[in-house]
Amino acid sequence: MIKKAVLTSLLATLGLAAGSAVAQQELNIYSARHYQTDEALYGDFTKQTGIKINRIEAKEDELIERLRNEGANSPADILITVDASRLAKADEMGLFAPVKSAVLEERIPAHLRTYTWIAFSTRARVIVFNKDLVKAEQVQNYEDLANPALKGKVCTRSGSHPYNLSLGAALIQHNGAEKTEEWARNLVANFARNPRGGDTDQIRAVAAGECGVAIANSYYYARLMNSTRAEDQKVVEAATLVWPNQKTTGTHINVSGAGMLKHAPNKEAAVKFLEYLASDDAQRYFADGNNEWPAVAAVKVNNPALEKLGEFKVDTLPMSKLAGSVPEAQRIYDRAGYR
């Protein structure tokens, strides 16, 4: 009977150990990325590591609020968002844990990472214009959009959107708050219509002649370039893309990034996932799946639209500085009536 009891106890112990090992082979991700092609990204990680991914998708602010409410009881290991300011907000709230990784330090450029969160892909904030309504030399810089010569010709999405707030934050860093507020007021005075719609809507409005010039993220333009629809190709023909500020600061970029959460129950798996996102395979998924640029410069992509767009001078303003100026950009936009 004693031997049987010992054996039963031993099996129970082994069973618990096995159960723990299984539990460690899971990763819980809260993600604000909503791109179908990311499924291949997650699937490849599981294939390489055997770690199962459980994922909840929602808007950035919803996920951050959920994490705040869950506190130490949160099951989440990783937070992924598509905007540097949201990553910084989560960091300021103490949601992230420091990540030490020689892999990340070696592969991700210093301006695209902090000690808690890391950018894995970039997207440019570009200018598109209708050459029948605006001359190319009029729209070579973000600052040009505030020129009175463009009165009634500028279209943008809402000034409260993170993409435009991040651009305002970059201008604050480069030009100062006073000049940025003057820029914002003059930009509003140049609007062809009240801000509405998404970035693709701005590009289409330029192509249709409703606006002479607009601001949009590069990947929206690249999607239209890669489209097989005749109407999308007509839009690309009518709306010309400009890499802004090539003779000064370089074109403003924003990022998709991620961080390991402070109360992550699977920290080892979380670090493995962050390192995987910096791998060549994952970096190509970002480029091919959503027309973004890899954060790892050495990675070569096979995306016809990105290749056709060519190289450009990038603004290397550290993401931490950019994110820190977003609240001030919001206040400036509010005073300027950019809503």
Asked if 113 and 274 count as a contact pair (C-beta separation under 8 A), the reply is no
How confident is the model at residue 187, as a pLDDT?
Answer: 98
Predicted pLDDT at 15: 43
Residue 38 confidence (pLDDT): 83
Provide the pLDDT confidence category of residue 113 given band limits of 50, 70 and 90.
very high
pLDDT of residue 217: 97
241 forms beta bridges with 128
The Cα 291–Cα 44 span in angstroms is: 19
Q: What angle do CA 257, 259, 261 make, to 5 degrees?
A: 150
- Per-residue pLDDT tens over the stretch 137-151: 999 999 999 999 999
pLDDT at 21: 44
With a pLDDT cut of 70, the percent of the chain lying above it is 93
Query: Reduced to 3 DSSP states, what percent helix, strand and coil does the chain have, rounded to the nearest 5?
Result: 55, 15, 30
pLDDT of 2: 40
pLDDT of residue 17: 43
> Residue 1: which pLDDT band, with cuts at 50, 70 and 90?
very low
* CATH number for the domain whose boundaries are 124-251+315-336: 3.40.190.10
Predicted local confidence at residue 288, as pLDDT: 81
Domain extents in the chain: 27-122+253-303, 124-251+315-336
Predicted local distance difference test score (pLDDT) of residue 36 = 73
- Burial 72-111, CB ≥16 within 10 A → b, else e: eebebbbbbbbbbbbbbbbbeeebbbebebeebeebbeeb
For the cut 80, the answer to whether the pLDDT of residue 276 exceeds it is yes
- pLDDT per residue over 182-221, tens digit each? 999 999 999 999 999 999 999 999 999 999 999 999 999 9
Q: What is the CATH number of domain 27-122+253-303?
A: 3.40.190.10
Q: How far apart are CA 63 and CA 31, in angstroms?
A: 8
The mean-pLDDT minimum among 24-38, 65-79, 85-99, 323-337 falls in 24-38
Q: Which of 15-19, 142-146, 200-204, 230-234 has the lowest mean pLDDT?
A: 15-19
Binned at pLDDT 50, 70 and 90, residue 34 comes out as: confident
Greater model confidence, 222 or 35: 222
As a whole-number percent, the residues of the chain with pLDDT over 90 amount to 83
Evaluate whether 27-122+253-303 and 124-251+315-336 have a shared fold. yes
